[in-house]
Chain A
Amino acid sequence: MSAAPIHIAGERLMLDPAGVLFWPAQKMLVVADLHLEKGSSFAARGHGLLPPYDTRETLLNLGNALRRYRPARLVALGDSFHDAAGHTRLAEQDAAALRHMLNGVAVTWVLGNHDPIAPASLPGEACDELREGPLVFRHQALPGKQPPGELSGHFHPKGSMPTRCGPVTRPCFMTDPRRVILPAFGAYTGGLAATDPALANLFPWGARLFLLGKERLFSLPMAPMRRLTTA
């Protein structure tokens, strides 16, 4: 696994093919949109009894990233649980695994639209927005001109790269010199195309996409799109 460095607001950030971001200067690992307990959320609302293994799978992947970077801090950029009651549905085994992997890590739960209240049963602080040095961490990117240094999630960006065998689509980081939008980390999270106006309009000067691969990222420039007038 090789991570790719980018520079935003003078800070060096590492984009990891697993879909996490590492800030070496602060020993901080950033992850977006875990959507834990999405399976049980669907089941509870009667939308199909999906396999209940998504939390386990997501935590397995998170544990791997934590072991690799050994961060002092972990920031989850919101929608960590698929709904506000999600953390109460964690299986005992999964909750224990989560507590164990967060042991000795300072955790910040940035709140998202899916999980507007803090997961009381878990360690860590909750906030709507976190500022650290020149960087700001929030769930959803603010539209319009913002000072450089915003890290966010929410949109689950995915990019398509044309290849000689047709386009290949993968979750991706979406960046420009001002902001990074992280791919969703959860096992049951789908994606929104980077070219969708909701995302493309946040990057008026174009963007660079880093598609997630097994061992590395694949970088792809995206030309600026004119604001779509209708939908």
Chain B
Amino acid sequence: MGTLPELFAGWFAARGWSPRPHQLALLAAARAGESALLVAPTGGGKTLAGFLPSLVELAERPRDGLHTLYISPLKALAVDIARNLMAPVTEMALPISIETRTGDTPANRRARQREAPPNLLLTTPESLTLLLSLPDAIRMFAGLAAVVVDEAHALAGTKRGDQLSLCLSRLQALAPGLRRVGLSATVAHPDALRAWLSPRGRPADVRLVIGRGGVAPRLDVMLPEGHLPWGGHMGLASAPEIYARLQQAKVSIVFVNTRAQAELIFQALWKLNDANLPIALHHGSLTVEQRRKVEAAMAEGRLRAVVATASLDLGIDWGAVDQVVQVGAPKGVSRLLQRVGRANHRMDEPSLAVLVPSNRFEVVECTAAVEAIAASELDGDPPRPGGLDVLAQHILACACHGPFAPDALYAEVTRSGAYAGLSRQDFDDVLRFVEDGGYALRAYDRFRKLFRDSEGLVHAANNRVVLQFRMNLGTIVETPMVKVRLRGGPMLGEVEEYFVGTLVAGDCFIFAGQLLRFDKLEAMTAVVSRGGEGEPRVPVYAGARMPLTTELAARVRGILHDPAKWSHLPPPVQEWLRLQQHFSALPPPDGLLVETFPRGPRWFMVAYCFEGRLAHQTLGMLVTKRMEKLGMAPLGYLATDYVLATWSAFEPTGVERLFEQDILGEELEEWIAESSMLRRTFRNIATIAGLLEKNQPGQEKSGRTMTMNADLIYDVLRKHEPDHVLLRATRQEAAHGLTDVARIARLLGRAEGRVQHLALDRASPLAVPALIEQGREWVAGGAEDALLAEAAALVEEATGGTELFSELLAEVTEGVSLGPPARDRSRPKVLESRRRRRA
């Protein structure tokens, strides 16, 4: 255990603090020259622990130049931390300079930072990537002693984390003595995170320091007064109860799962807000200024509550928050714990949290989550291996910095945690891709981005390559968005272009906590005014809705199966499960319960798989394909986090055949390749890898143009070079996340020989939530053309075959003003870049 120098001990004492054991442990690790990972709940001086060794070193041996680099996933966090660090530095009069560097840093300061770097530089993975690609990176980083990675758990296993992992390897090569410090929330796999942080991809290289857990949080599950809803995920029925809790607490954060839900809950709370409590809204689609305003108001204690999405999962501590409300299913234990930890950062008092399930299944899920937290059982997957697209960007960054030898770069890359398992073949293919596209048809020799000199060193071909790398840097690819501006007023934020495409003038929708009327689209901006009539809509975003984790799903199954565990459930839920037991059966903890029953002219099949929405979506496709083969004429399916439901023209019999392991065969490959999820994945990968441009010098390309091109390129590449490295990267990524194939395999394994099929004469109680769920999938496979045919037939029927443009009509109306077209909701209004084709 380390001890504090007198100056620092005095400073702690003056504040009435004593150094925490984990702060001293990090000091000790630093003195031994070791890297370390601090795993601790929020609060408890985690950030200070990360910086303390650097402050002590610099106090003892002041020097010029960069000593410590701090990386945060959030720009705002870097700025806040810099401000907070100024307190000890000023109060102890330490000779230490501190600065931040983000995309917002003015050019003159950036230039100065390259000339004379501060001792402590606080930045983001993207800014670090850019710094490392500059020719003078060696001079800037050669003396670097430490790098502190904040919120390491949130970065590892993401593309930004891949990028950072590669940058850390680069830094280590420039400054071999560099020690790394990771700061992380409590995670299920600390050793995997140690390996990720390690300079050689080995957990043993990184000392693990566990911060003492605070007092266990106090969690309640709160139900709405009166009827407990069967379905729905918004939790609006509980608004009065939530409002009552806000009135009782000093400051609350109300966490929800989606931006649409945030808007609706915010509206519902303000409708009840007779006491005029200052309640704010915070989500990722609001303008940055607006979010900063809310954060500042929160920090200054001017708010009683903020309704927030994952946009507030990470961030600076607000000491005043004394209650967290989670509306809707928690979906994962680790995430819930992180959210709960945002309340009450004093470690000697429990965090208070209320879970507000929005339907019956979610009651069980909330109860399971409370159980899991009480048992300190966390969930989440270990970080996946690094993506080849990010590697492509890194190779280009390295070439922009200066010539490199492929052998040396391969060695450097495989020393990073995320790429420790990278094969030489994959590395070479990615390198070739960056050089000239890497196509079997060697058409682009003249246009190559990199060239090799006679000694085998790889150089960037010209300045344009370097410039374009800088324009396209980063691993975050946005869905095409449209800005929303109040007529004659400020920007309110962004909604997805797709959503605006479905609006016609006069439609109203809820956004940024206001009721807005859509007026018109003007140069990629939706102009709106306040107010509006009719049923308002709520923009939805394609964003990652988190699926139920495996661990939490297992606990849910455990509760459902065992009536002895029902005592914690509210009476209506107990009653519901008893009815299920009576009319059908309870889903077994192992094996698979499948119900079939007729309803109207169709046959339904409900399988209680509990493997999360993504896995069920993929499974739904596979099962309906098999049903088709067996002549059951499937019509559609629906995937929730808990069940897969299908409906078909004929009764499904012998359902074991639908869940045999061999459904994971060729059909899967085929479907995955065709699915829109894979197209989206390819678009992101192609953009990150530098095949498609994010920005062109002097010309902003609209997001839509990029989408379109990516799809065309995907189709052509699949046909002519199916094994291209970018397609391999796309499949690899899909296998890891989007399609959750591993979870399907696990389920099918569990179900083998243990399918419990019940043929019922009507829907069972447990099946009801699925039957009223929204968002259905229609059976794929030429489905789009079938849908078009159906719609075209409908149009003909509705218009009675009248040709809108018949010769006659044209003659009659010519020269006559037709006035504005009749308002037609069904008419699609597709948004397009207004840029005319190179005219």
A interface residue numbers (CB < 8 A to B): 39-40, 43-44, 46-54, 56-57, 91, 113-114, 154-156, 158, 160-165, 167-170, 175-178, 187-196, 198, 203, 205-208, 211, 213-216, 218-226, 230-231
Contacts and interface: CB of A to CB of B under 8 A. Distances in A.
B112 interface: no
B441 A52 contact: yes
B84 to A, nearest CB: 43
Interface string B652-675: 000000000000000000000000
Nearest to A221: B804
A220 to B, nearest CB: 6
A131 to B, nearest CB: 22
Interface in B402-452: 436-437, 439, 441, 443-444, 446-449
B813 interface: yes
A192 B782 CA distance: 24
B787 A163 contact: yes
B822 A46 contact: no
A190 B464 contact: no
B702 to A, nearest CB: 11
A230 B838 contact: no
A176 B821 CA distance: 17
B824 interface: yes
Nearest to A194: B830
Interface stretch (B18-26, B118-126, B321-329, B788-796): B788-796
Contact of B437 (A43, A47, A177): A43
Contacts of A230: 522
Q: Is the interface of A mostly helix, strand, loop or mixed?
A: loop
B443 A46 contact: no
Given A53-B441, A218-B792, A196 B716 contact: no
Given A52-B437, A167-B828, A162 B791 contact: yes
A225 B837 contact: no
A51 B724 contact: yes
B158 to A, nearest CB: 24
A164 B793 CA distance: 13
B317 interface: no
A195 B831 CA distance: 8
A18 to B, nearest CB: 14
A68 to B, nearest CB: 19
Contact of A51 (B690, B716, B789, B822): B716
B839 A177 contact: no
A46 B717 CA distance: 19
A223 B824 contact: yes
A57 B718 CA distance: 11
Contacts of B446: 44
Contacts of B809: 205
Interface in B608-649: none
15 contacts: A39-B443, A40-B447, A46-B468, A50-B713, A53-B719, A57-B716, A163-B788, A167-B830, A168-B788, A177-B806, A187-B715, A188-B713, A190-B705, A194-B830, A214-B782
B785 A213 contact: yes
Interface string B810-836: 100110001111101011111110101
Given A161-B788, A167-B828, A51 B720 contact: yes
A206 B799 CA distance: 14
Contacts of A190: 705, 708-709, 712
B789 A218 contact: yes
B761 interface: no
Interface in B286-306: none
A19 to B, nearest CB: 13
B807 interface: yes
Contact of B830 (A47, A154, A160, A205): A160
A163 B821 contact: no
Given A161-B791, A176-B805, A205-B805, A226 B724 contact: no
B719 A57 contact: yes
A114 B696 CA distance: 20
Interface band, chain B: 35 or more
A98 to B, nearest CB: 16
A94 B829 CA distance: 39
B538 interface: no
B91 interface: no
Contacts of B804: 205-206, 208, 221-223
B838 A164 contact: no
B790 A51 contact: no
Interface in B340-354: none
A162 B444 contact: no
Nearest to A206: B804
A114 to B, nearest CB: 7
Contacts of A226: 818-821
Contacts of A57: 716, 719-720
A206 B824 CA distance: 14
A193 B810 CA distance: 23
Contact of B822 (A48, A163, A195, A223): A223
A92 B272 CA distance: 73
Interface string B373-412: 0000000000000000000000000000000000000000
Contacts of A188: 709, 712-713, 716
B372 interface: no
Given A57-B719, A162-B791, A188-B709, A43 B447 contact: yes
Contacts of A211: 788
Contacts of B792: 161, 218-220
Given A177-B807, A188-B713, A218-B789, A91 B838 contact: no
B639 to A, nearest CB: 15
A53 B152 CA distance: 42
B803 A221 contact: yes
Contacts of A49: 436-437, 439, 444, 447-449, 691
A74 B468 CA distance: 41
Contacts of B371: none
Contacts of A214: 782, 785
Contacts of A46: 447, 464-465, 468
Contacts of A43: 437, 443-444, 447
A208 B791 contact: no
Given A167-B828, A218-B789, A221-B795, A191 B708 contact: yes
B725 to A, nearest CB: 12
A205 B810 contact: yes
B523 interface: yes
Nearest to A197: B834
A94 B808 CA distance: 47
A176 B465 CA distance: 47
B693 interface: yes
Contacts of B709: 188, 190
B785 A215 contact: yes
